[in-house]
Structure 1
């Protein structure tokens, strides 16, 4: 079967009665997390841990970034199935997780690209051409990043800022051999159940345990996150396991860190203040509550502070409702299109036409075969309303 165009979407299509009245993120839940481990074979540690924020109390000089930089680490380390670590981590954390009510599984980057189509002002360099590969299983659309390059090498004579070196200087790695921490959350947006994977720069450690009243209010899972985040000595409790048909090695290591502790780190020269609107889209998609805006003069950084920017991001969401409602409609339409296709779909932004072009393309499956069985697992049951009888939920 050759490829064929199945739909084209322009901005003018994203209007009318189908646009939802409100498009906000609700019901945010942490599902799982993992760290990539430096190893000859693709290896992740679950739940892993972000680096701990530990900035010095005095100004410091930081070297410029150099060497290997990941653009899309999941694809760079596991090109056979960049999305497999997301699913493996979820099922290690919760073996009974029911994937079937989920409408979209995606990386944060894909939602940011779709938002840039609706509102080019949210992208740093404006709207650029991009590609997203999409596959449907039952009622779930899986969005996979498609990048020209998955990593970069910064040469000794190149200058691309201080961001990575600053992160190293101001955080403590909690997982031996870690090369990056990824988190997986779920939420409701525009009538859709969405799972989002994103990289996290760090977290703020708890300075004290919860009060007795807070302990009473917290669920057991919340308490686990709090107590785990207080642990200072993560240890590797598993040399790693693999699943038949997969090359990915999964270790159990680290502690779950609550979403409320996570942060994003941004660096900038002192004479160019970083405004919230420049980073709001990225932070909104992942619902990261904290931000560090680190300013420097020729690599000498002032003492940075951690800001809770939840109110600013909420206001940004309110101010951007016109665009976010269109984003919600766009995501729904994409899901509806791909559900009616027999093959996988490539979504591509064509600058010349200024449209999103969806093309049906034969492609190898995105996940190992055993993971697709999660959509057919008859062990998931619900209690029939008012009857007290268990019945299977049909996919």
Structure 2
């Protein structure tokens, strides 16, 4: 497979995601991929049903103890080579221009689901591999593994927003996997237009050590609704930390399967990332995915989300539309770049610290978020009866629990499934309390010391028609 770095934009989405560019397709050649067949409806869930049971979840309907577990970059490969990830990678750095820039409109074709397009057999598997490389006990006490797209769709449902979606649900050991489902792993976004690709190409920079990167994926662990979640999202980039700014992440480390616990930095100061060209080290994965080890961790509180908009929209409240998505991915910074027919001026690029805005939204939306927590508990309960099924919704309708037909595939390959189950096992040394504590300390990974992120972001359905 060959992957070329192109960043995506579509309709209302207004942001960017690195995508895979292919030769342009004329409008009369575009075909719509048929949807996979639907199984029989087993149950229907309404928002009214959730309202009745949500009260018991109100107190815990907040995101707490958010920790960045690991990250990885997708990178370009030569034709017919295996898909390749680099752990932990680095997001692109914000490098704004000091003058006015006239950019060309976006061109090219872009996949709707980047992770599925690059690894269609098991879209969540590269995330699990990266996570286990960083924490060999990753699966302990994890209730749900999801991406910000699947969580975003469930949140839209409880908020009564019109949006169709499909999610594959699979129980592995004691953990529920929520897998985004499109009509095809290589389905294209239609109607791509604007400057959401070309702007980040001009205003962000990949580090030399991962210059062939096409996207940066991050994995968060946090508590919500009395559940432990692992959530993957795609980061637009990171802001450089001022020289006089420090962080509280002196215990941060990432585990390499070849070298044990290898400390990559004494803190998550992005200054330590800049200008370094780390040697890539091969690490084992599976037969279908090539995994390399390079880059430097970047603190979650430096990550930003980026949108582009026409200048005439500058007085509109764009942030309120984006906050639910930011909440899911716990992102602190939001950049809006306004333009006039592709002309971007420094005074029209707004960089915001949005942590307090997202915290306020979380407080105000407590009732809705309690319904989301109730829904997650309902899905978990259903998985005790059906180990594997599908959630689907048509615009404005109830959430349908459907039987999953045989062509849906598995969340993880057999090799990685065994690794996941093994990572849930508790290892005790001679049953001594000190030894147990020693194990816990050894596997403490990539915790930047800030345990209450209430500012948050993306990896949504990225179809260009939603606010997530």
Q: Give the TM-score range, shorter chain.
A: 0.7 to 0.9
The counterpart of 1:101, out of the listed 141, 146, 158, is 141
Counterpart CA distance in 1 for 2:282 and 2:141 is 30
The corresponding residue for 2:464 is none
Compared CA separation, residues 386 and 253, structure 1 to 2 (3 A): closer
CA contact (8 A) 2:132 2:423 kept: no
CA contact (8 A) 1:234 1:253 kept: no
Counterpart CA distance in 2 for 1:377 and 1:287 is 25
The corresponding residue for 1:271 is 312
Counterpart CA distance in 1 for 2:266 and 2:434 is 31
2:229 matched to 1:189?
no
2:112 matched to 1:76?
no
The corresponding residue for 2:296 is 255
Number of corresponding residues: 375
**TM-score calculated relative to the size of structure 2:** 0.74
* Alignment gaps of 5+ in structure 1: 121-125, 391-395
Structure 1 stretch displaced more, 361-370 or 331-340:
361-370
Secondary structure of 2:142's partner? Answer: coil
User: What do residues 323-351 of structure 1 show as CA deviations (whole Å, max 9, x unaligned)?
Assistant: 11111111111111012214x21110134
CA contact (8 A) 2:116 2:186 kept: no
Secondary structure of 2:98's partner? Answer: coil
Counterpart CA distance in 1 for 2:339 and 2:245 is 36
Compared CA separation, residues 198 and 218, structure 1 to 2 (3 A): closer
User: What do residues 87-137 of structure 1 show as CA deviations (whole Å, max 9, x unaligned)?
Assistant: 11112222x2230311110010111101111114xxxxx412110001101
User: What do residues 145-199 of structure 1 show as CA deviations (whole Å, max 9, x unaligned)?
Assistant: 11235557689xx761111111111000122211111100010111111110000
Deviation of the 1:138 alpha carbon: 2.1
**TM-score calculated relative to the size of structure 1:** 0.87
The counterpart of 2:372, out of the listed 327, 348, 372, is 327
2:67 matched to 1:25?
no
CA contact (8 A) 2:333 2:355 kept: yes
CA contact (8 A) 1:229 1:256 kept: no
- The structure with the largest strand share of the pair is 1
The corresponding residue for 2:26 is none
Deviation of the 1:270 alpha carbon: 1.3
* Alignment gaps of 5+ in structure 2: 1-37, 254-264, 437-468
CA contact (8 A) 2:140 2:423 kept: no
Structure-to-structure mapping, 1:56-75, within 5 angstroms = 56-75=97-116
The corresponding residue for 2:336 is 293
The corresponding residue for 1:219 is 250
2:173 matched to 1:138?
yes
